[in-house]
Amino acid sequence: MQVFHTIKQTQEWCLEQKQQGKRVGLVPTMGYLHDGHLALVKEACRQCDAVVVSIFVNPTQFGVGEDFECYPRDLAKDKELLETTRADVIFAPEVPEMYPAGYHTFVEVFGEITGKLCGASRPGHFKGVATVVSKLFLICQPDVAFFGQKDAQQVMVLEKMVRELNFPIKIVRVPIVREPDGLAMSSRNVYLDAEQRKQALVLNQALQKAEQAILAGERDLAAVKTILVDTIESSPLAQIDYAEIYSAEDLSDLNVIKGRMLMAVAVKFGSTRLIDNRLVEV
């Protein structure tokens, strides 16, 4: 496996693969990899001939007071994990390589899709995401890019960006990977102390209870949202950022439980903010 730190190296390698007729896959990550990331990489290896994994903690998607400086980083460990897959290249640039002095070009997706959920509580977050992913797309020229369903809103935003900016790239969603006890895998889980880690299980439990109510016939939107909120609030350490239900197509508002829906939650335990979601259709 090769590790590139410059855009030029990565561009040249990707161009060579495409000239050889290979199908190039890209897995964008911020590193500190876990089995959720590896599921993306393995799916990329299954679908593509050449696979690039980017590892870059992107400063433009972090707001003031967020955890950019202390976000966990361990490139050596990440490389060891990726050696167990068929990935070909790690692209691990430093911040000045991606955002040189005087950088002022950004990509932004507007509308309901970025104004709700994480977009409401983290202003500017999706502007940073859209910008860095656009840059990665232009650097790597992938045929396919792989993202996790855990970041459901992010994937929806990027799908819209790809569609509207005519990127010739297919976006593939990979299902959420969970710990044996149900907690969605996240690099931020490492921040949790033992009691926070135990109480964080309430996120998946709340989504399960809400889904069970819907499948049992509940169609009142407010009633289902109450199940989400009450279940989460049963955990003393939980601080709810949001617990919402929207259309899974575009995050538009719903009046009743109907169609394909995204139930999404964001909850803080101490200073650690975790997200989770579940798709349900009736």
Say what the pLDDT of residue 92 is. Answer: 98
Taking the CA atoms of the chain, what radius of gyration do you get in angstroms? 19
pTM, full prediction: 0.96
Percent of the chain with pLDDT over 70: 100
CA pair distance 183, 176, nearest whole angstrom: 10
pLDDT tens sequence across 186-208: 999 999 999 999 999 999 999 99
pLDDT tens sequence across 111-125: 999 999 999 999 999
Residue 65 has pLDDT above 90, yes or no: no
**Residue 177, number of CB atoms within 10 A of its CB:** 18
Q: Which two tokens stand for residue 97?
A: 């390589």
Q: What angle do CA 121, 124, 128 make, to 5 degrees?
A: 125
pLDDT tens sequence across 217-276: 999 999 999 999 999 999 999 999 999 999 999 999 999 999 999 999 999 999 999 999
The answer for residues whose C-beta is within 8 angstroms of residue 64's C-beta and 6 or more apart is none
The answer for residues whose C-beta is within 8 angstroms of residue 249's C-beta and 6 or more apart is 260
Catalytic (active site) residue 34: no
- State the catalytic residue, choosing from 5, 34, 37, 125: 37
Say what the pLDDT of residue 197 is. Answer: 98
pLDDT tens sequence across 135-175: 999 999 999 999 999 999 999 999 999 999 999 999 999 99
